[in-house]
Amino acid sequence: MGLSLSTPAAVARAQDMPPADTADAATEAPAATAMATAQAASRSASQSTSLAASLAASLAAAVDAAIARHPAAAEIVGRRRADRVQRGDAGRWVRQAPTLTGRYQTDRVADAIGEREWETTVNVPITPPGERQARRALSRQRSDATAALADSVALMVAGQVREAAWVVRRAAVDLALAERAEETARLLERDLAIRVREGERPEADLPLVQAETLAQESAVVDAEAELTHARHRFTELTGLTALPAGLRETAVAAETVDLADHPDARRALAERDRARQAHRVAGKTWTTKPSVGVGMRGERPERGAETIGSLGVFVTVPLDFGLFNRTAEVGALDSLAQAERALAQIRRDLRLALDAAEHRLDAARRAATLADRRRATAEEALRLARISFEVGESDLVALLRAREEALRAIADAERRAVDLGRAIADYNQAAGVMP
């Protein structure tokens, strides 16, 4: 037994018009069938209106909403704040705390002739110009890396929104197909019951369609649950209850795809450049900084003598030249090596992902074309089976078999159309294209 059933007359009419247009198909059915069809059409129209009303947000707006809610948004805000702090710190000439030293000397415990001497010095370490320039360049690289990270996160979230939206679309199509199958099964059951009462068909046919009606009702319940779950996931991701309008995308031209400009590649490149500049900073950092000092000195040779004061300026230049910062330089080289590996890995992964997405898109296009051809063939076969049944050349089982194949072909064609749209979205995602 198939997934859905319908009355002989309603089956043919359902194949000759849009699937949702069941009210016109019922005008030629018995009164009980017409009433059931009208109720089903009213419910379907109400759901269609509700769905159309919910198509309020564009896909881009849904992505923006999801980015604002994503946990990575807080990280990016924090990194931008840290970037501002580092920019201010990188330009400082004084990166280490100045020192204040004092000295006092007296002969009270020795000769006790009143000799006294004191000295106070303020010493200020100065960042060498080469190190300062390297740190300022590092602060710019860090800001670039944060901007690239923000773009990469935006693309990642866009992929999640695309997937969630297409899951909702697929679930909605599955529910529509299940409801259509339930409606036609119910129509067949009621029409067949009338024919059995009038003696046109044997009573043994009725349990077959009754069992199929119950099966389709169960399928509708399952499809509704799947749609509810898909909608909930989309709402949790975006904070929106409205589905994105204009979900279908146009595949970007292959010749315009530049993986070097992919947000993930730019993020990895920016991290590599930042690690490279951090290594330069390590090579130019003096562990002991040059310093400039100013000191005051006072001296009294004996009690009663006049105190002699003097002012001194001191310059200290350690013979460092960045040659004694090897431990930090080794750590920077390790980080650079890891960044180089990550960049090469991401470039490789992006090429593989794009190739796979291109193959899936090509397969989805061919599958959709074949599904449309199968649908047309199955609909024609169902039309001929209906004619044969009505003139008494075939039995109900043959009609049900033809109807089952037609409905399977219709469902497959509609699902393949959804799969094609999702494959296009996946291809654009792999190419690094935002909605």
Those residues with Cβ within 8 angstroms of residue 337's Cβ, 6 or more apart along the chain or in another chain: none
Residues 6+ apart with CB under 8 A from 153: 67, 70, 72, 73, 76
**Whole-number pLDDT of residue 29:** 34
Give phi and psi for 294, each to the nearest 5.
-125, 130
Sign of CA pseudo-dihedral 79, 84, 85, 87: positive
Predicted pLDDT at 292: 93
| pTM check: above 0.95 | no
Specify the pLDDT at position 46: 42
Is residue 42 a contact partner of residue 66, using CB atoms and an 8 Å limit? no
Residue 5 clears pLDDT 90, i.e. is over it: no
Residue 41 is predicted with a pLDDT of 40
Q: How far apart are CA 181 and CA 400, in angstroms?
A: 12
Pairwise CA distance, residues 338 & 68, whole Å: 30
Q: Using only C-alpha atoms, what is the Rg of the chain?
A: 39
- Between 399 and 27, the more confident residue is 399
Distance CA 274, CA 118 (A): 49
Q: Where are the alpha helices (DSSP H) in 289-395?
A: 326-390
The confidence band for 247, taking pLDDT boundaries of 50, 70 and 90, is confident
Which helix (H) or strand (E) is 101 found in, with range?
Answer: strand 99-106
What is the residue-averaged pLDDT of the chain? Answer: 82
pLDDT bucket at 321, cuts 50 / 70 / 90:
confident
Out of 180-184, 190-194, 327-331, 414-418, the most confident range is: 414-418
DSSP 110: T
CA-CA distance, 1 to 407, in Å (whole number)?
Answer: 12
Q: How many CA atoms, within 13 angstroms, populate the side-chain half-sphere of residue 207?
A: 2
Top mean pLDDT of 10-14, 242-246, 403-407 is at 403-407
Neighbouring residues of 156: CB distance < 8 A, sequence distance ≥ 6: 72
DSSP for residue 326: H
pLDDT of the residue at 137: 93
Confidence band, pLDDT 50/70/90 cuts, at residue 8: very low
**Of residues 39 and 149, more confidently modeled:** 149
How large is the average pLDDT for residues 396-411?
83
Task: Give the per-residue pLDDT at 306.
Answer: 84
Instruction: Please return the burial class of 273, using the count of CB atoms within 10 Å of its CB with bins 0-12, 13-18 and 19+.
Output: buried
**Per-residue pLDDT at 397 exceeds 80:** no
Q: How confident is the model at residue 77 (pLDDT cuts 50, 70, 90)?
A: very high
> How large is the average pLDDT for residues 120-148?
93
Which residue's entry shows tokens 């009419």?
13
Rounded CA-CA distance 18/34 in Å is 17
How far is residue 98 from each of residues 49, 86, 102, measured CA to CA in Å? Answer: 73, 20, 14
Lowest mean pLDDT among 24-28, 53-57, 222-226, 238-242: 24-28
Structure tokens at 307: 């105190």
Indicate if the pLDDT at residue 9 is higher than 60.
Answer: no
Residue 146 pLDDT level (bands cut at 50, 70, 90): very high
> In this prediction, what percent of the chain has a pLDDT beyond 90?
48
| Residue 394 pLDDT grade (very low, low, confident, very high; cuts 50, 70, 90) | confident
- Exposed/middle/buried for 111, CB within 10 Å: 0-12, 13-18, 19+? exposed
Name, in order, each residue with C-beta under 8 angstroms of 259's C-beta and a sequence gap of 6 or more.
265, 347, 350, 351, 354, 431, 432
Would you tell me the crossing angle of helices 263-284 and 326-390 to the nearest 10 degrees?
A: 180
The confidence band for 399, taking pLDDT boundaries of 50, 70 and 90, is: confident
What pLDDT, on a 0 to 100 scale, did the predictor assign at position 1? 32
Indicate whether 192 pLDDT > 90: no
Rounded to whole angstroms, the maximal C-alpha distance in the chain is 143
Phi first, then psi: what are they for 297, rounded to 5°? -135, 135
Token pair listed for 66: 């999801």
C-beta of residue 117 within 8 angstroms of C-beta of residue 299 = yes
Q: Which of 126-140, 204-218, 250-264, 307-321 has the lowest mean pLDDT?
A: 204-218
DSSP code at position 311: E
Does residue 123 sit in helix, strand or coil?
strand
Residue 35 confidence class, pLDDT cut points 50, 70, 90: very low
Give the relative orientation of helices 129-197 and 8-15 as an angle to the nearest 10 degrees. Answer: 140
Return the pLDDT at 324: 82
